[in-house]
């Protein structure tokens, strides 16, 4: 919360985990400049909407979020930032109620920029950013942005345009930032980036730079877990997987985007791998890490996707038994190569394929979750609330399952929970009798 009389800020974040990490870091910058969240029941003076434009739906959701921010907080200054703001700044500036439009690179100095902007300066008597925001609450699980930008130019993706080329953050700065987050209470660090597997390449480093960074982060006292947001299959090198296998604090969770199980579609998508390599990488990872959870993203209905292509995707999903499947229906993003491709797939076919794939993903996930029942799981407690008179805690396992259980005064602890039941959003469990307090 802010000092009495100081301006306040609220955030709305759309899109990927990198955007979430960047919103967290903007909130820290603003707090360091004395601009914190509003008191409960009060409106903010500034709303920062961190937008996304990865699909047509994401763009639409970003537009709605901006309009909603302006409607709900008519007295607040509305700041649009992020990929949608970069891809179409003129359109964003024309949305009723939007006061300031900023790009992705502005996120690193948002407090400074807003202080100097005529549109917001009357509100922002902000101090130069402090190294560590006083009283800033950091989550038990904190994102750490290691890298941004991408140079792969997948044909459906706007990110190389909106975020520019691959840029990694220097390891020294990341270690300092991680230390601050851990000192403020974070126990799990989630390393985020658009293309983490290439961390350090632009700094003249090589494919070992990611493991070097992990080693340094794990030297920080108090880091209980280190998680990767996602990584491309070709970066699951022996060294990367071997390191995860050798270090119990590295989460047994790998999100490895697949997008399609057909080489013909992968080629049209300009994806930097083919299916045999993808499968070999993941099966090798599973050999070394038998308990690893493998999650993925799939796009259905990419231009020209035949029923055979789609069957190949279903086959790969079955074979690799992903713990979590994120299914996206393809929609053309203007200014991408795929937007000009022929052989568009009809909305009905996309819908039908998406339904079949989601059903398969759910079935595999249920079987995978069932394998957790009766086991004691290490859960890092991230939330605790009273629900109809009962205190319920929840947190995540290292293989990325949310577990709910009765308990109190456990926020921030790593507890052992026996899993008893599958829920739509994870697992239910209970604590051994002596650990349940309150």
Q: Which residues bind ligand SF4 (CB under 6 A)?
A: 150, 152-154, 157, 159-160, 194-195
Q: Compute the least distance from the CB of residue 193 to ligand SF4, in Å.
A: 10
Measured from the CB atom, is 111 or 327 closer to ligand SF4?
327
Measured from the CB atom, is 231 or 289 closer to ligand SF4?
231
Among 412, 408, 409, 414, residue whose Cα is nearest residue 390: 408
Q: Compute the least distance from the CB of residue 165 to ligand SF4, in Å.
A: 10
Among 124, 85, 127, 126, residue whose Cα is nearest residue 107: 85
Measured from the CB atom, is 234 or 408 closer to ligand SF4?
234
- For residue 262, CA distances in Å to 204, 210, 276, 308, 321 come to 34, 29, 10, 8, 17
Q: How far apart are CA 89 and CA 379, in angstroms?
A: 43
Q: How far apart are CA 16 and CA 230, in angstroms?
A: 11
Q: Which string of DSSP letters, residue by residue, matches 110-121?
A: HHHHHHH-TTTT
Lateral strand order in the sheet of 98-101:
9-13, 46-51, 77-82, 98-101
Q: Compute the least distance from the CB of residue 273 to ligand SF4, in Å.
A: 10
Q: Could you tell me whether strands 188-192 and 324-329 are parallel, antiparallel, or unpaired per DSSP bridges? A: unpaired
- Residue 68: exposure state from Cβ atoms within 10 A (0-12, 13-18, ≥19): middle
Measured from the CB atom, is 73 or 195 closer to ligand SF4?
195
Q: Compute the least distance from the CB of residue 251 to ligand SF4, in Å.
A: 21
Measured from the CB atom, is 223 or 295 closer to ligand SF4?
295
The beta-strand segments (E) located in 215-292 are 225-228, 253-255
Q: Compute the least distance from the CB of residue 58 to ligand SF4, in Å.
A: 13
Residue with tokens 């279903």: 314
CB neighbourhood size of 99 (10 A): 17
The single-letter DSSP state of residue 292 is -
Residue with tokens 């499968």: 279
3-state secondary structure of 51: strand
Measured from the CB atom, is 152 or 207 closer to ligand SF4?
152
Measured from the CB atom, is 159 or 300 closer to ligand SF4?
159
Q: Compute the least distance from the CB of residue 328 to ligand SF4, in Å.
A: 11
Measured from the CB atom, is 93 or 153 closer to ligand SF4?
153
Q: Compute the least distance from the CB of residue 252 to ligand SF4, in Å.
A: 23
Q: Compute the least distance from the CB of residue 153 to ligand SF4, in Å.
A: 6
């Amino acid at each position: 919360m802010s000092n009495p009389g100081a301006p306040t800020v609220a955030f709305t974040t759309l899109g990927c985990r990198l955007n979430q990490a960047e919103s967290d870091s903007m909130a820290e910058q603003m707090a360091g400049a004395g601009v914190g969240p509003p008191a409960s029941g009060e409106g903010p003076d500034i709303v920062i909407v961190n937008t996304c434009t990865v699909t047509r739906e994401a763009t639409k959701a970003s537009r709605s979020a901006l309009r909603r921010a302006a409607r709900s907080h008519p007295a607040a200054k509305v700041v649009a930032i992020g990929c949608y703001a970069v891809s179409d700044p003129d359109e964003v500036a024309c949305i009723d109620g939007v006061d300031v439009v900023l790009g992705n690179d502005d996120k690193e100095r948002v407090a400074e920029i807003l202080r100097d902007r005529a549109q917001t300066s009357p509100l922002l008597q902000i101090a130069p950013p402090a190294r560590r925001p006083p009283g800033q609450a950091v989550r038990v699980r904190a994102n750490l942005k290691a890298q941004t930008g991408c140079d792969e130019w997948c044909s459906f993706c706007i990110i190389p345009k909106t975020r520019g080329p691959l840029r990694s953050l220097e390891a020294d700065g990341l270690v300092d930032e991680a230390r601050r987050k851990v000192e403020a209470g974070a126990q799990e660090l989630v390393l985020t980036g658009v293309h983490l597997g290439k961390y350090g390449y632009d700094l003249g480093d090589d494919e070992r730079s990611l493991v070097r960074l992990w080693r340094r982060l794990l030297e920080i006292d108090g880091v209980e877990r280190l998680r990767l947001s996602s990584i491309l299959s070709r970066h699951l090198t022996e060294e990367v997987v071997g390191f995860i296998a050798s270090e119990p604090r590295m989460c047994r969770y790998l999100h490895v985007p697949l997008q399609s199980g057909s080489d013909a579609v992968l080629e049209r998508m300009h994806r930097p791998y083919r299916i045999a390599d993808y499968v070999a990488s993941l099966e090798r990872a599973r050999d070394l890490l038998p308990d690893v959870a493998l999650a993925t993203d799939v796009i259905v209905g990419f231009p020209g996707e035949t029923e055979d292509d789609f069957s190949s995707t279903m086959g790969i999903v079955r074979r690799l038994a992903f713990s979590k499947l994120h299914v996206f229906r393809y929609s053309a993003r203007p200014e991408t190569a795929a937007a000009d491709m022929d052989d568009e797939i009809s909305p009905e076919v996309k819908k039908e394929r998406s339904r079949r794939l989601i059903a398969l993903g759910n079935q595999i996930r249920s079987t995978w979750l069932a394998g957790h029942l009766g086991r004691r799981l290490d859960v890092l407690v991230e939330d605790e609330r009273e629900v109809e008179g009962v205190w319920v805690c929840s947190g995540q396992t290292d293989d990325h399952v949310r577990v709910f259980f009765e308990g109190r005064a456990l926020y921030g602890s790593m507890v052992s929970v026996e899993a008893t039941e599958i829920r739509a959003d994870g697992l239910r469990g209970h604590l051994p009798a002596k650990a349940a307090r309150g």
